Chain A
Amino acid sequence: MMRDYWILGMLMILATLGVSLSVYKEMRPEYIAYQKQYYELTGVKQYEYEIKQLNFNTDSGILIDRCMTCHLGATNPAASHFPVPLNFHKAIVSDNQDHHNFDKIGCVVCHDGNGRGLGKVDAHGDYHDWHSPILKGKMVQANCSRCHETTVNDLAGAVNFNRGKKLYFARACWACHTIMGLSSGKSAPDLTDAGAKFSVEYLKESIVDPTANSSISKMPKFSWVTRTDDVNDLTIFLKGQRANRLKDNKKAPVEYKRADLDFLNITSSSASLGKEIFWGISKDGINTRGGCINCHSIRNDKGELQGGHNAPELTFVARSRTKAFIIEHIKNPKKHVPDTIMPSFASLSDQAIDSLYKFLDSFEFSLTGEEKYSDIHIYKTYCSGCHGEKLDGRGPRYALLDPLPRDFTKFQFIKSYQERFASSIKKGVPGTAMSSWENVLDEKQIHLVKNYIIKMAGALKDSYKRLNIELPSVNAKDRKPPYAALVPGDFQKGKIVFQRYCTSCHGKLANGKGPNAYFLVHPLPRNLLNTEFMNQPAVDDKRLYQSIMLGVAGTSMPPHDFLPDQSILDLIEYIKQLNKVQE
C-alpha cells in the first residue's frame, strides 16, 4: 500500500510541476529576452515587457503587425550596430527622401509573414502551408507592387524587380503568358495573380523545371535557367504580380505616371532590326517584343550554333520554306502545325515581322568542301538537331515538337516506307516541323543522307518485309466476310467504328490524345485532325487502308485485321470527312 502512495505522491508532484512549467513557459515568451537585451543596450532603466502591436489600415483590410515586439530597433538609427533582431532597418531607397515610416506601416506590408505571431517560427510564417512566408533580402522587392505602380515606372530601390520585368520581355515569357497591363499571351497560364497564388520556391522551381509542379506542362526548359541571378530576378518580378493591391496606385506616394507600356516602335523593316527582335534586345531602355532566340537556334556563317533548343533550328528556314509560309507562321503558327507550342506573334507589326523575315533570310551557312558530300556530316548538320545523333528521333530539340521527329532506329518502319524518304526530304512533310530541303541540299546529298539513314537503321540486312495489300474496290464480292458486296464508306458508320476501336489512343476527338496516348512514348498517336498532314497527296486511301489493316510498322499502331473491309472503308471516309477543308 505504501508503494501506491509513493507513486501517487510522485505523480502529483510531477503533474504540478508540469502544469507550473507550462504556465512559466507562457509567462516567459521569446520576446522578453530580446526586449531585455535591447533596453540594456540602449541604457533605458524604466521599461515594461509588452507586445507592441501596430494595425496598419490599408485600403483593403488591416495588417496586424507585432513584429516590433522583437525587432525593437527597427526605427532607431542609434541601433544600427545592434545584433539581429534588434538592429536598425536601413532606408529602403538610399537617398534621404525615403518616405517609408515603419512606425506607421509596419513590417508585414513588405516582408509578409504572420504579423500576429510572437515566436520566430510563428511570426516568420515558417510553417507548412502558411500563405505568405517571410520574404527576405532582395525578394522583398516583390511587394513594392502591392502599393506602388510598377508596370511602367521603374521603381527606385527595386533594382532586381525592374530587371525581372526586362527579362520577362527579353526571355519571351510575354509571348505565352498574360499579365494584365503587360502582355496578353494565350498559350500558358495567366500570371496576373501569380504572386498571391504561389510561393517564391514554387515560382523558382517552375521556371527552372516547368514539369516539376505540373507534369503535363508544355513550357520549354530554357537554357538560360542555369543563370541564378536571372531566375531570381524573374522570380521577384513574378512574386510581385498580384491581382489585389493593398493600395490604389494613385495613393501610393511616388511620382506617378500611368501610361501604356511603351514598346519599340518599328516603322521600317531591316535585317538589323529583325536581329534585335529575334534576340529580344531592349533598345534605349524600351522593351522589344521578341525573344525568338529563347526557343529557336541559329547558326552564324561559321556554323556555330546559338540559341535555345526548344524549337526547330532556323538557319535554313528561309531556304526551306516560302516567305508567305514564314510570315503566316509567325502570325498564326497553328494554321500549319496544329499541335505546335509556338504562340502567336500577331501582335507584332507587319514591319517587325518583315524585319524578322529579312533577318532569317540573311543566313547563308551550308556545308562546303569535303564535308559537303560526306553522308555522316550531312546528317549531323541538317538532321540530328531533331532526329538525334543516334537516329532515335530524340535530338536536342525533339521533346516539344508535335508530331515527334521520326525514330530511325525502328528498322521495320524504314524497311516499310523507305521509298517515301526521298520525297519527304525533298518536299518536307506538311503539318509537321519537317521542312522541304530541296533548296538546301542537292539531289546527291539527299540521296546520300537517305541511304545513310537506311544503312544505319539496319534495314538492309534484315529480312523483314511488309505486305503490300491493295485497297479493296467498291462492289468487290470476294472480301471476307463474303455476305455482301462492298459499298462506299459512310461517315456515320465510320464514326461508330472509330468510337469503338480507335479512341483509346487517338481520342474521342481524333486529335491523338486518347487516354492511352499518355503512356505511349515515341512516336505518339497521330493527330487525325492535322489537316495539312492528312490532306497531302501521299496520304491516300490506300495508305490509310494499309495503316489500319496492317498497323504501322515500328510504331504503337497495331494491325486491325479483325475489322471487316467495309468497316475500314467507313473509317477512311470518316477520317477524310474530318479533314475536309471548309470553303
Chain B
Amino acid sequence: MKELIQLYLKKVYYTVMRHGFDKTGLTKSKIIFSNLFLHIHPVKVHRRSLMFKTTMGLGVMSLALFIILTITGVLIMFHYVPSIALGPDNLPDAYGRMLNLRSNLFWGGFIRNMHRWSAHAMVAVVAMHMLRVFLTGSYRNGREFNWVIGVILGLLTILLSYTGYLLPWDQLAYWGVKVGTEIAKIAPGGDLIRGILLGDNDVGQEALLRFYVLHVAVLPIIISIFIAIHLFRIRKDGGLGRPADTSQEKLIPVSDCGRVENNSFFKSCRSYQLVEFVEGTEPKVNEEVEQMVFAWPKLIVREIIVTLLITVLMVIFSIMFDAGLEGPADPNHPTNPSKAPWYFLGLQELVSYHGFIGGVLIPGLLVVLVALVPYIEMFIETGLKLNRKIVSGVWFHKERLLENSIFLSLYIIMIFLIIMGTFFRGENWSFVYPFAIQSGGGH
C-alpha cells in the first residue's frame, strides 16, 4: 500500500516537475530548460559571468526592482482613483486616497513607501547599470544594438517614474510635473507633445488620467517587451561580454559551483551539440567549454541573492523613512522653489542658465549621443581603419581610455548638476547651502 501511494505521488510530481533534483548533468540542464522562468538562462554559463565584479548584479537588481514595483503598484491600484474631483471633505479624490493609504489602510503606508523608494532606486540602479556596461565596454562585439535597447529601457524607466510622480496629486507632484512639462514647451514641437501628454493646456484632470493610464498600462507593457528583447539578445549573444580567452584569469573554482555527477557528455559541449552545425555565429558556438559550469544552482542562487538583497534594502528603507506627501495640489500657490523629480534636476539646473540650450539642445544631444555611442565608435574605427582588439567585459580597458574618460566626465558632470539642483538651490533657484532653514511660503 505504501509503495502504491509513493508511486502515485511520484506520478503526480512528474506531471508538475519534469525533473528530479539529483546532481547529474542531465538533471541540471533539465531544471533550467524545462522551466518557463529559468529557461531564459543557458544551461551552462561561463564562470566569469558568475562573479560579482563582472556585473555587480546591477541588471538583475533593475529587474528585481521592476518586479517589486509591479507587485506594489498593482496593490496600490486596488485603492487609487485618478480623479481630482473633490471628495466630501473638499480634498481631491486622488490625494484623499493617498492620505488613506498613509493613515488608515492596513499596510498601505508600507506599500506606498516600497513603491516610491523602489521607483527612485530603479532610476539610480539603471543609470549605474549603464555606467557599468560602458566602462566594461560590454556593448562591443555584436552587442551594439542591445545597448540601444538598453538606452530605450533607461528612458522608459524615467518616463515611468515621471508619470508616477504626478499621481499622488500633492504640491510636490503637481509642481514637479508642471516644471517638467514647461521644459518640454521649449523644444520644437514640444507644445504638441505636451498637449498630447496633458490633454489640456495645463496639468489637470486630463493629465492625471493620461499619466495614470501611461503609468499602469501602456508603459509597463512596453517596458516588459523591451526587457524581454534585452534579455533575449544577451542570451543569443552568448551571455555576458567577455574576453575570448579567459584561461589566465582567476575565476570561481569549478569545485565551488556545485558537484556534478555523470558529467561525461557535458564535458565536451555547452549544452547540446546540434547547434554547432548552425552556420554563422548565432547561437554562439566555439567557446571555451571547459570554463563553463552549470547554471543550476550557482547562477540561480546568486541571482536570488541579488534580488533578495535589493528587496531587503528597500524594505528596511521603507520601514525607516516614510515617502513624502505634501499638501494637496493647489494651482494657485506655486511652491518656491518648484523642483522636478531629482533625476530631472540636472536638466532643470541647465535650464536655469538657458532655456533652449540647457533644456533641449544639451539633453537631446546627450541622449542621441549616448544611444548611438557604439555606432559612433564603430563609424570612427571603420573610417580610420582602426583595428582595435578591444575585448568586451574588461573594466577600464587601456585602449578605451578616451571613451571611458569622456563618458565618465559627462556622468560626473550630470551627477554634479543633479546634486547642485537638489541641495544647493533655494527660493527663486538662488544658491543656498544645503539644509539651510527656508522661511515659510504661502502655507
A8: which B residues are within 8 A, CB to CB? 301, 304-305, 308
> Within residues 171 to 197 of chain A, which ones have a CB less than 8 A from any CB in chain B?
197
With both chains docked as a complex, state the minimum distance between the C-beta of A189 and any C-beta of chain B, in angstroms.
12
The interface bits of chain A over 193-205 (1 if a CB of B lies within 8 angstroms of the residue's CB, else 0) are 0000111011001
B312: which A residues are within 8 A, CB to CB? 11, 14-15, 18
Among B89, B103, B258, B315, which residue has its beta carbon within 8 angstroms of that of A18?
B315
Interface assignment of B328: CB less than 8 Å from any CB of chain A: yes
With both chains docked as a complex, state the minimum distance between the C-beta of B8 and any C-beta of chain A, in angstroms.
32
Among B109, B316, B327, which residue has its beta carbon within 8 angstroms of that of A131?
B327
> Within residues 298 to 346 of chain B, which ones have a CB less than 8 A from any CB in chain A?
298, 301-302, 304-305, 308-309, 311-312, 315-316, 318-319, 324-328, 330, 333, 335
Tell me whether B311 and A15 are in contact (CB under 8 A).
Answer: yes
Interface assignment of B15: CB less than 8 Å from any CB of chain A: no
B316: which A residues are within 8 A, CB to CB? 18
A199: which B residues are within 8 A, CB to CB? 440, 442-443
- 9 A/B residue pairs, CB under 8 Å, sorted by A: A4-B298, A8-B308, A18-B312, A18-B315, A25-B110, A25-B319, A62-B89, A131-B327, A213-B439
A55: which B residues are within 8 A, CB to CB? 88
Interface assignment of B219: CB less than 8 Å from any CB of chain A: no
Tell me whether A1 and B99 are in contact (CB under 8 A).
Answer: no
CA distance A19 to B314 in the complex (A): 10
Q: A199-B440, A213-B439 are in contact. List 19 more A-B contacts (CB 8 A).
A: A4-B302, A8-B305, A18-B315, A19-B315, A22-B315, A25-B319, A55-B88, A64-B88, A64-B89, A66-B104, A117-B102, A128-B326, A129-B443, A130-B326, A197-B333, A198-B443, A199-B442, A201-B440, A212-B439
B333: which A residues are within 8 A, CB to CB? 197
Interface assignment of A47: CB less than 8 Å from any CB of chain B: no
Interface assignment of A483: CB less than 8 Å from any CB of chain B: no
B171: which A residues are within 8 A, CB to CB? 128-129
Tell me whether B325 and A1 are in contact (CB under 8 A).
Answer: no
Among A23, A62, A201, A212, which residue has its beta carbon within 8 angstroms of that of B107?
A23
CA distance A18 to B171 in the complex (A): 31
Tell me whether A129 and B326 are in contact (CB under 8 A).
Answer: yes
| Total A-B Cβ pairs within 8 A | 115
Interface assignment of B93: CB less than 8 Å from any CB of chain A: no
Tell me whether B88 and A62 are in contact (CB under 8 A).
Answer: yes
| Chain B: CB-nearest residue to A23 | B107
CA distance A130 to B319 in the complex (A): 23
Query: Provided the pairs A119-B103, A129-B326, A129-B327 are in contact, do residues A22 and B440 lie with their beta carbons within 8 angstroms?
Result: no
Tell me whether A12 and B88 are in contact (CB under 8 A).
Answer: no
With both chains docked as a complex, state the minimum distance between the C-beta of B114 and any C-beta of chain A, in angstroms.
9
The interface bits of chain B over 84-101 (1 if a CB of A lies within 8 angstroms of the residue's CB, else 0) are 000011100000100110
A342: which B residues are within 8 A, CB to CB? none
Interface assignment of A74: CB less than 8 Å from any CB of chain B: no
Interface assignment of A118: CB less than 8 Å from any CB of chain B: yes
The interface bits of chain B over 410-443 (1 if a CB of A lies within 8 angstroms of the residue's CB, else 0) are 0000000000000000000000000000011111
Interface assignment of A389: CB less than 8 Å from any CB of chain B: no
Tell me whether A26 and B109 are in contact (CB under 8 A).
Answer: yes
Interface assignment of B106: CB less than 8 Å from any CB of chain A: yes
With both chains docked as a complex, state the minimum distance between the C-beta of B331 and any C-beta of chain A, in angstroms.
13
A213: which B residues are within 8 A, CB to CB? 439, 441
A63: which B residues are within 8 A, CB to CB? 89
Among B90, B99, B305, B325, which residue has its beta carbon within 8 angstroms of that of A11?
B305
With both chains docked as a complex, state the minimum distance between the C-beta of B188 and any C-beta of chain A, in angstroms.
28
CA distance A19 to B440 in the complex (A): 37
Interface assignment of B349: CB less than 8 Å from any CB of chain A: no
Tell me whether A205 and B440 are in contact (CB under 8 A).
Answer: yes
Among B100, B256, B304, B439, which residue has its beta carbon within 8 angstroms of that of A205?
B439
B443: which A residues are within 8 A, CB to CB? 129-131, 133, 198-199, 202
A122: which B residues are within 8 A, CB to CB? 102-103
> Within residues 316 to 356 of chain A, which ones have a CB less than 8 A from any CB in chain B?
none
Tell me whether A1 and B297 are in contact (CB under 8 A).
Answer: yes
CA distance A23 to B106 in the complex (A): 8
The interface bits of chain A over 1-27 (1 if a CB of B lies within 8 angstroms of the residue's CB, else 0) are 100110110011011001101110110
CA distance A63 to B91 in the complex (A): 11
Query: Provided the pairs A1-B258, A15-B312, A22-B110 are in contact, do residues A197 and B103 lie with their beta carbons within 8 angstroms?
Result: no
Query: Provided the pairs A18-B319, A19-B315, A129-B170 are in contact, do residues A202 and B301 lie with their beta carbons within 8 angstroms?
Result: no
A119: which B residues are within 8 A, CB to CB? 103
With both chains docked as a complex, state the minimum distance between the C-beta of B436 and any C-beta of chain A, in angstroms.
15
| Chain A: CB-nearest residue to B96 | A116
| Chain B: CB-nearest residue to A22 | B110
Interface assignment of B257: CB less than 8 Å from any CB of chain A: yes
Tell me whether B319 and A131 are in contact (CB under 8 A).
Answer: no
The interface bits of chain B over 70-88 (1 if a CB of A lies within 8 angstroms of the residue's CB, else 0) are 0000000000000000001
| Chain B: CB-nearest residue to A115 | B89
CA distance A580 to B441 in the complex (A): 45
Tell me whether B100 and A116 are in contact (CB under 8 A).
Answer: yes
9 smallest beta-carbon distances between A and B, as pairs: A18-B315, A129-B327, A11-B308, A129-B326, A62-B88, A129-B171, A22-B110, A130-B327, A201-B440
CA distance A251 to B440 in the complex (A): 36
Among A61, A62, A118, which residue has its beta carbon within 8 angstroms of that of B103?
A118
A5: which B residues are within 8 A, CB to CB? 301
| Chain B: CB-nearest residue to A56 | B89
Tell me whether B305 and A114 are in contact (CB under 8 A).
Answer: no
| Chain A: CB-nearest residue to B304 | A8
The interface bits of chain B over 33-50 (1 if a CB of A lies within 8 angstroms of the residue's CB, else 0) are 000000000000000000
B305: which A residues are within 8 A, CB to CB? 4, 7-8, 11
Tell me whether A116 and B319 are in contact (CB under 8 A).
Answer: no
CA distance A212 to B316 in the complex (A): 41
Tell me whether B107 and A129 are in contact (CB under 8 A).
Answer: no
CA distance A26 to B107 in the complex (A): 6
Among A61, A128, A130, A202, which residue has its beta carbon within 8 angstroms of that of B88?
A61
Among B90, B298, B302, B319, which residue has its beta carbon within 8 angstroms of that of A21?
B319
With both chains docked as a complex, state the minimum distance between the C-beta of A114 and any C-beta of chain B, in angstroms.
7
B304: which A residues are within 8 A, CB to CB? 8
B324: which A residues are within 8 A, CB to CB? 127-128
With both chains docked as a complex, state the minimum distance between the C-beta of B64 and any C-beta of chain A, in angstroms.
12
| Chain A: CB-nearest residue to B317 | A18
| Chain B: CB-nearest residue to A2 | B256
Interface assignment of A51: CB less than 8 Å from any CB of chain B: yes
B99: which A residues are within 8 A, CB to CB? 114, 116-117
| Chain A: CB-nearest residue to B302 | A4
| Chain A: CB-nearest residue to B333 | A197
Query: Interface centre among A4, A64, A66, A197, by most B CB within 10 Å?
Result: A4
With both chains docked as a complex, state the minimum distance between the C-beta of A132 and any C-beta of chain B, in angstroms.
8
B106: which A residues are within 8 A, CB to CB? 26
Tell me whether A127 and B107 are in contact (CB under 8 A).
Answer: no
CA distance A350 to B319 in the complex (A): 71
B440: which A residues are within 8 A, CB to CB? 199, 201-202, 205
A18: which B residues are within 8 A, CB to CB? 312, 315-316, 319
A11: which B residues are within 8 A, CB to CB? 305, 308-309, 312
With both chains docked as a complex, state the minimum distance between the C-beta of A207 and any C-beta of chain B, in angstroms.
14
CA distance A547 to B319 in the complex (A): 72
B258: which A residues are within 8 A, CB to CB? 1
Tell me whether B103 and A117 are in contact (CB under 8 A).
Answer: yes
A114: which B residues are within 8 A, CB to CB? 99
CA distance A133 to B90 in the complex (A): 16
Query: Interface centre among B103, B170, B305, by most A CB within 10 Å?
Result: B103
With both chains docked as a complex, state the minimum distance between the C-beta of A11 and any C-beta of chain B, in angstroms.
4
CA distance A131 to B328 in the complex (A): 8
B96: which A residues are within 8 A, CB to CB? 116
B309: which A residues are within 8 A, CB to CB? 11
CA distance A538 to B60 in the complex (A): 84
> Within residues 52 to 98 of chain A, which ones have a CB less than 8 A from any CB in chain B?
55, 60-64, 66
Tell me whether B110 and A26 are in contact (CB under 8 A).
Answer: yes
CA distance A189 to B319 in the complex (A): 46
CA distance A119 to B100 in the complex (A): 12
Query: Provided the pairs A4-B298, A119-B103, A129-B170 are in contact, do residues A22 and B89 lie with their beta carbons within 8 angstroms?
Result: no
